[in-house]
Amino acid sequence: MMMQLSLYAMFTMKSFQQHFVYRANTLILMLGSFLKLFVLISVWRGLFHGREEIGGVTYDHMILFVLINLLVGTLTHSRIGDTIGEKVISGNISTDLLRPISFKTYIIADQWGENLFRFLFSAIPACVIYFVFMSIPTVPSEPSRIILFLISVTSGIIIIYHIHYLLGLTSFWTGNSYYVDWFMRAFFELFAGTFVPLWFYPQFLLQIGTFLPFRLVTFEPIAILVGKTSISGAIGIIALQWGWIVALVLLEKWVWQRAQNKVFIQGG
């Protein structure tokens, strides 16, 4: 167990260091995050102009939502599906299967290293720049709510990684990874409530989103933090998240057993 954890940490650190080498790219990421933050806050400021709240959501709620969503979004970012697809197409998957660590652990550790880098050198600096020039929104101080938020957001990260991993495994049959990114972007942007919170969605889209796990990745954890979800409701959300995690893990194990028999080389 300890060896597995040390290998996981090693691959995470290696991925982190690889991204740290490209200083210009780091600056571009930070500026991009700040620009995204500036645009979103400007949009919501314009929509809330002269209004105390919209649909029961206050301006402070929205600003806190945007800021936390930027931070959490860097941790839930995933290219796992595309990475698996590219490895299958190139044939590098055969080498990865020989590593003294599970393929899933290696792929997730690599993604986590990249996301940790984005979080520390892109999202946090963008928020700091915002705090320097703008007021800091009020953050709920209830310890129980903060703890539930941390548990929920961790669960959301686990969910999105497993979804991308599961979709990536389908490339063992299709031999094509390009559809994975398109599929996930389309459904995630629509039903995750990252750009426009689900509070403002029409009823029919909310009903569809209820049966999908995407809202559980970032929207529901943030709703817990900003106080839009009760404590009992937050516990229910976390239970639902772990229900999805168990289902995804079981499905992933079933698919992985069959995927290993479909390994083929398309080059190299």
Q: What is the pLDDT along the chain (268 residues), one digit of tens a residue?
A: 555 556 566 666 666 666 666 666 767 777 888 888 888 888 888 888 878 788 788 888 888 888 888 888 888 888 887 888 777 777 777 777 777 677 888 888 888 888 888 888 888 888 888 877 776 777 777 889 999 999 999 999 999 999 988 888 888 777 666 666 677 777 788 888 887 888 888 888 888 888 889 999 999 999 998 888 899 999 999 999 999 999 999 999 888 888 776 654 444 4
Q: Does 248 reside within a domain? A: yes
Query: What is the pLDDT, as a whole number, of residue 61?
Result: 84
- Please count the residues of the chain: 268
Task: Confirm whether 165 is domain-assigned.
Answer: yes
Query: 181: how many CB neighbours lie within 10 A of its CB?
Result: 16
Instruction: Give the structural domain span for 59.
Output: 2-262
Of the CA atoms within 13 Å of residue 263, those in its CB half-sphere come to: 14
For the CA atoms of 157, 18, 6, 169, the dihedral, rounded to the nearest 10 degrees, stands at 50
Say how far residue 5 (Cα) sits from the centre of its chain.
22
61 within some domain: yes
Residue 215 within a domain: yes
Residue 268 placed within a domain: no
0.95 exceeded by pTM: no
Determine the pLDDT at residue 247: 95
Is residue 267, in this structure, part of any structural domain at all? no
Determine contact, residues 72/216, Cβ cutoff 8 Å.
no
Q: Please report whether residue 172 resides in a domain.
A: yes
Predicted local distance difference test score (pLDDT) of residue 266? 43
Q: How far apart are CA 222 and CA 61, in angstroms?
A: 10
**What is residue 267's predicted lDDT score, i.e. its pLDDT?**
42
**How many domains is the chain built from?**
1
